[in-house]
Amino acid sequence: MKHSIALVTGSTSGLGYAAALLLAKEGCGEIIVTGRSLARVQQTVAELGAETKNQVFTPLELDLDSSSSVQSAVAELVKRGKPIDFLLLNAGLVPFKKRALTASGIEASQGPLIGHHQLTVGLLSANLLSPNARIVIAGAEPARGGVPMFKYTDLPAFAAKYFQGDRTVAVEALIHNGPNVKYVANTAYADAKLIVAWWVAALARRLPSGMAVYAVSPGGATDTKVVRSAGWALKHIFIPVVNLIPGMNQTPETAASRYLQASEFGTDASGQFFASAKGKFSGPIEVQLQPHLYDRASQEAAWKAVVKVSGVDFPTQHP
């Protein structure tokens, strides 16, 4: 990555900050650091520069919950005219105990995907991703299933029960946490990350040849701010118990290194979801093969729902 340009969302703290550090240490030519507040991003750039003794960090204001902010960020990148080689869509949120919506009426944990979609499509439409660009978006272990306290919605059954089998409308309902969706924080999180995995598979079919996209679970890394909004049981029971089990937690740097590992994968792995082995939250990542992840109807429904909610799509041949 010596001569490459990377953009990292949510990089003012936690895994995004750790990823920016790792990218600098690996010789990345420029790392675009983003966050909601320009002042906070500029402070982070100074901190990263002091820590690495390397002035390769560039600040960019980007609020993923605001479509106008995403548009402004893309416009700023267009002015610069430098294609991005590695797009790390790291920003995320563990849902609040009580339902919270963005200003656009999107359930809080679903918001980052909508903003990431707008950003990715904006960069693609402006030809601001290099021909061999790699896109990595943060996934999470609950999307694969089998994680205690987390259960994703059975989309085909949900669509059949409430929406005459229309999965696209069903995904929209989950994104908005609207009618017929009972809010359960951990279920909302599992649904958000499963929709991310489906979105990645659909995006892979639409990318120009040479580019690739992957969903990657960073695994257990509780020493970050990501759990600040989590409910009492998750913060005070599940996480402390997990932390007592050897190999079930890891440092933010180790977790963020999974993103960088995936950025070196080939196009043959594009569209896949990588996470820990079954029953683990750390260690090597492997492609997840659970059948629900490969349900093409659900993948396309997720894509269409995100396009409708975000209001942006880019012209491609029908996959």
pTM > 0.85: yes
Instruction: Tell me if 37 is assigned to some domain.
Output: yes
Average pLDDT, the chain: 91
Instruction: Tell me if 315 is assigned to some domain.
Output: no
**In this predicted structure, what is the pLDDT of residue 244?**
47
- Mean pLDDT of all residues in 16-20: 97
Confidence of residue 319 (pLDDT cuts 50, 70, 90): very low
Handedness of CA 273, 278, 283, 289 (dihedral sign): negative
167/305 Cα distance (integer angstroms): 9
Summarize pLDDT for 26-55 with one digit per residue, the tens.
999 999 999 999 999 999 999 999 999 999
Instruction: Tell me if 220 is assigned to some domain.
Output: yes
CB 168 within 8 A of CB 308: yes
Sequence-ordered alpha helix ranges (H) in the chain = 14-25, 38-52, 67-80, 111-125, 155-162, 167-176, 185-206, 232-233, 239-244, 252-262, 296-310
The range of the structural domain enclosing residue 208 comes to 5-309
* Cα-based distances in Å from 311 to 118, 125, 148, 207, 278: 8, 14, 35, 19, 36
Residue type, 193: K
CATH number at residue 95: 3.40.50.720
- Identify the residue whose tokens are 């590992």: 261
- Mean pLDDT of all residues in 216-227: 72
Sequence-distant (6+) residues with CB within 8 A of 118 are 64, 67, 70, 71, 310, 312
**In this predicted structure, what is the pLDDT of residue 227?**
52
Instruction: Tell me if 272 is assigned to some domain.
Output: yes
266/214 Cα distance (integer angstroms): 10
Instruction: Tell me if 319 is assigned to some domain.
Output: no
DSSP state of 294: G
HSE-CB for 146 with a 13 A CA cutoff: 12
Confidence of residue 236 (pLDDT cuts 50, 70, 90): very low
**In this predicted structure, what is the pLDDT of residue 240?**
54
Tally the domains of the chain.
1
Instruction: Tell me if 316 is assigned to some domain.
Output: no
Instruction: Tell me if 242 is assigned to some domain.
Output: yes
Between residues 283 and 128, which one has the greater pLDDT? Answer: 128
